[in-house]
């Protein structure tokens, strides 16, 4: 296995600038690995391998012509892009059959910034239908499977990104997150993901797009196999673009400035409603004890309102986005969701069952105005309570989900377990998803590291330390080799 498949994007960029590695070789190694693993994973759904090779050759020529001093931070480094982002010359369907064959002419803001930073996309990756479910499966591209176990989901909606980064075929990818869509794929595929503070990164150029105040809940961020790439990529992505009204200038701190020995840590074992498996509880406990060993102040606490996470998320998102927003997107190509439920039963619908059901029930969060306001007030109270408890130099440890990656089609039976992530979007807190090795079945474990708005650098500093202490991403081929050895 070529060592470049283990390195961070920052490490690859440093070797290219130093003349120790050609961009063409870095790109080619990742393409070759993608050609090997993607037929099973179905993570990259449209490639640009030949264009990427030409761009890598141009990157090598630029280095030769002008030297390393003026090169952008990710010069010549391969990457991947979630298909819901507009990317010139590439499809932008978000898994909707009615958009099949559609290509766009301009890059989304985040894509343009990644490319201006020197990165070379090798392809675009799969999503759930209209990016609104935690399993990446649709009628345009089909299902993406987990690189650690093909019977397991990859998460959604950035599931293709999580799978291809977790497989080693891309050092980092671009994802988006309105209820866990960066963090679920990062968690289930054993890599790092960062949901930024609400409003830090412009989301312009995605389809579908959040509306009105819900733009604060939709966050664009990186999925990486190595933690050291999180902050450099966040700096590339952050800042207003003059189009997204929810994005505003914010200072970004330095992870190196965070004193972990003085960190305030609140470990929250559950939301009081959805039970967390013992291996995940144990992994979170190990993280808490490790931070305590460094000198951090660690306390196990509960926030009672988290038990009402569904009501709080639904009221916040529904009030911010407006009624029938998802249904309206569906009905641009579909007349009558009840009809399509029947057609789905007959295996004739162009939609997946999660998309149909979501369209039918999305207004569940619209209670009477008085009750809705009561939930919105509760969100503000919870935000204030958690902000005070975590403090300016603190983090909260919180489960990523109730189990490791579930088997295909089962999340629809797990009801509201996704709220371990979703509630943090409406609170607008920054969150870093951190891998913590594998369980006895060879599936990734992990934890969410949460802080108060503006403290993205604090959660990333903790992620860097946890990678050092617990090992971070475990390449699937190493996991497979270990399992084979144990069977022998």
The answer to whether 181 is a known catalytic residue is: yes
Annotation says 309 is catalytic? no
The Cα 210–Cα 224 span in angstroms is 24
Residues 6 or more apart in contact with residue 231 via CB below 8 angstroms: 252, 254, 255, 456, 457, 460
**Spatial distance between the Cα atoms of 378 and 93, rounded to a whole number of angstroms:** 37
Phi and psi at residue 284, in whole multiples of 5°?
A: -65, -40
What are 288's two structure tokens? 């808490």
Which of 8, 82, 94, 314 is labelled catalytic?
82
Q: Which residues of 247-284 are buried (b: 16+ CB within 10 A; e: fewer)?
A: beebebbebeebebeebbbbbbbbbeebebeebbeebb
In angstroms, the CA 160 to CA 127 distance is 6
HSE-CB of 240 using CA atoms within 13 angstroms:
9
Helical (H) or strand (E) element with 398: strand 394-398
Catalytic residue among 23, 29, 181, 400: 181
Based on its alpha-carbon atoms, the radius of gyration of the chain, rounded to whole angstroms, reads 21
The candidate with the shortest Cα–Cα distance to 223, out of 278, 262, 184, is 184
Write the DSSP string, 323-366: TTHHHHHHTTT-S-HHHHHHHHHTT--SS-HHHHHHHHHGGGG-
Q: 285 with 300: CB under 8 angstroms? A: no
- Cα separation, 211 vs 206, in Å, equals 12
What is the rounded distance in angstroms from the CA atom of residue 187 to the CA atom of residue 174? 15
Q: Cite the beta strand spans of 37-99 per DSSP E.
A: 44-47, 78-82
Contacts of 162 (CB under 8 A, 6+ apart): 154, 155, 173, 175, 184, 185, 186, 188, 189, 191, 193, 223
Pick from 7, 128, 25, 72: nearest CA to 418: 128
**Residue 360 C-beta-side C-alpha neighbours within 13 Å:** 14
Choice among 10, 29, 136, 157 that is catalytic: 157
| Whether 101 contacts 194, CB under 8 Å | no
Tokens 């988006």 sit at which residue?
176
Q: Provide CB contacts within 8 A for 455, sequence distance 6+.
A: 197, 253, 392, 395, 430
Active site residues: 82, 157, 181
């Amino acid at each position: 296995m070529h060592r470049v498949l283990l390195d961070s994007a920052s490490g690859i960029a440093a070797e290219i600038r130093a003349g120790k590695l050609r961009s063409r070789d870095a790109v080619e190694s990742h393409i070759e690995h993608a050609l090997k693993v993607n037929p099973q994973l179905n993570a990259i759904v449209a490639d640009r391998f030949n264009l990427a090779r030409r761009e890598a050759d141009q990157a090598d020529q630029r280095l030769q012509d002008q030297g390393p001093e003026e090169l952008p931070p990710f010069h010549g480094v391969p990457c991947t892009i979630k298909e819901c982002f507009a990317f010139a010359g590439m499809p932008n369907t978000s898994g909707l059959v009615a958009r099949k064959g559609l290509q766009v002419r301009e890059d989304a803001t985040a894509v343009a910034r990644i490319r201006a930073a020197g990165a070379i996309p090798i392809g675009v990756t799969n999503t759930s239908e209209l990016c609104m479910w935690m399993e990446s499966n649709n009628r345009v591209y089909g299902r993406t499977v987990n690189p650690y176990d093909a019977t397991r989901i990859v998460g959604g909606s950035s599931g293709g990104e999580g799978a291809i980064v977790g497989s080693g075929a891309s050092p980092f990818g671009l994802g988006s997150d309105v209820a866990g869509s960066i963090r679920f794929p990062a968690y289930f595929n054993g890599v790092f993901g960062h949901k930024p503070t609400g409003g830090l990164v412009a989301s312009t150029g995605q389809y579908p797009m959040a509306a009105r105040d819900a733009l604060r809940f939709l966050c664009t961020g990186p999925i990486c196999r190595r933690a050291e790439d999180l902050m450099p990529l966040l700096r590339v992505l952050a800042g207003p673009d003059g189009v997204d009204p929810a994005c505003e200038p914010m200072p970004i701190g330095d992870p190196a400035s965070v004193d972990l020995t003085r960190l305030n840590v609140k470990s929250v074992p559950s939301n009081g409603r959805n039970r967390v498996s013992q291996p995940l509880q144990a992994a979170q406990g190990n993280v808490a004890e490790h931070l305590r060993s460094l000198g951090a102040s660690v306390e196990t606490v509960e926030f009672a309102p988290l038990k009402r996470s569904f009501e709080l998320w639904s009221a916040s998102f529904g009030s911010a986005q407006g009624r029938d927003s998802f249904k309206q997107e569906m009905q641009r190509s579909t007349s009558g969701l009840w009809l399509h439920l029947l057609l789905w039963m007959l295996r004739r619908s162009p939609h997946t069952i999660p998309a149909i059901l979501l369209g039918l029930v999305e207004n569940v969060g619209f209670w009477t105005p008085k009750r809705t306001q009561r939930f919105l007030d509760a969100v503000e109270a919870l935000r204030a309570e958690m902000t005070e408890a975590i403090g300016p130099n603190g983090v909260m440890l919180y489960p990523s989900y109730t189990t490791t990656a579930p088997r295909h089609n089962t999340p629809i039976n797990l009801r509201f377990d996704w709220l371990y992530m979703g509630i943090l979007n409406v609170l607008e807190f920054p969150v870093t998803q951190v891998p913590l090795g594998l369980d006895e079945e060879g599936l990734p474990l992990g934890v969410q590291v949460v802080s108060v708005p503006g403290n993205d650098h604090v959660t990333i500093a903790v992620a860097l330390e946890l990678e050092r202490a617990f090992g971070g991403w475990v390449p699937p081929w190493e996991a497979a080799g270990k399992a084979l050895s144990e069977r022998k």
